[in-house]
Structure 1
Amino acid sequence: MQDRKLYHPPVLVFVDCKLGADLLCDAIHKVMDLKTVSIHSDKSQIERNRILQVGRAGRLGHRGTAITFINNNNKRLFLEVVNRVKPTGSLLPPQLLNSLYLHEQMRKETQRKKHGEDSTVTKDNLMDIIRKHDRSANKKRKS
C-alpha cells in the first residue's frame, strides 16, 4: 500500500471476518495515517450507507483498487483469486503470481485434469465423490 504506482485511493480491502476488518482498518489508519472505514453486518444501516459513499472503488467506469489479504489459513484460495481476477484484465501483483502456493495449486490442478478428475460436482459424478470420500474417511479411521 506504500507503493503509489500500484495503489491509488480509494482502496477496498477484503478480509474473512468482522473483527479482522475492524483490526486491519485500525492498523492501516495508525501505521499509514490513511482514512479507513470497515463495513460488515455489525454496522447499522446508517453507517453502511455512509461507508458506501466513501468506498465505491472501481464502480461505474471509475478506477479503483481492491486488495485481498490471504493468510496461511486461506492460502488454498490463491488459484481461485487468480482465476477470478485474470479475466477482468486487472493487474495481479507479482507477489501473488510468483507465490509458491499458487504454483503448487496450479500443478495440482493440472494433475487433476490430466487424470480426469474434475472438481465440479454434477449429478453424474456425485456418487463417485461420495464413495471416494467414504473410502478415504475409512482409511483414516483404521490408521
Structure 2
Amino acid sequence: MVALYGALFISAFLAATVLPVSSEAVLAGMIVSGCGDPALLLTVATIGNTLGSLVNWVLGRGIDGLRNRRWFPVTADRYEQACRTFRRFGEWTLLFAWLPVVGDALTLAAGAARVNLAVFVALVATGKAARYAVIVAGGLWATA
C-alpha cells in the first residue's frame, strides 16, 4: 500500500514540472479502483504537486541565469505571458498554478518576483488541493 502512495506522490511531484505526467489520471484510477484512503490520497497528491511547484519557484529565483538554457522548463513566450498575468493580478494567480500550460510559468514568475515562500506554498497548495478534491469527489461519485 505504501508503494501506491509513493507512486502517487512521485507522479504528482513530476506533474508539477514540465514532464508529461498526469497525476490526475493516477489519482482518479486509485479512487475508482478503491486503492487507499481518499483523504490520504488527496493529501499525498497535494503535497507532492506543491513540492514540485516549489522546485519551479526555486528555479524562478535564479531565472536570469537559467532562462536561456536548453533544458529550461518554460518557453520564453509562456514565461512572458505568465509574468504579464502575474504583474496584473499578483500573488492570487498562484491559486491557478494547477492549470495546464501556464501553471508552471506562474510558479516560475512567482520565484522571479520573490514572492514570500509561506504565501507561495499557501496559495499553490490551496489551488492544487481544490483541483484534486474535485477529482476525488468525481471518482467517488463514479463508483457510488
Q: Tell me which interval the TM-score lies in, with the shorter structure as reference length.
A: under 0.3
Higher relative contact order (CA 8 A, sep 6+): 2
> Between Structure 1 and Structure 2, which shows a larger proportion of strand residues?
1
> Between Structure 1 and Structure 2, which shows a larger proportion of helix residues?
2
Query: TM-score, normalised on structure 2?
Result: 0.24
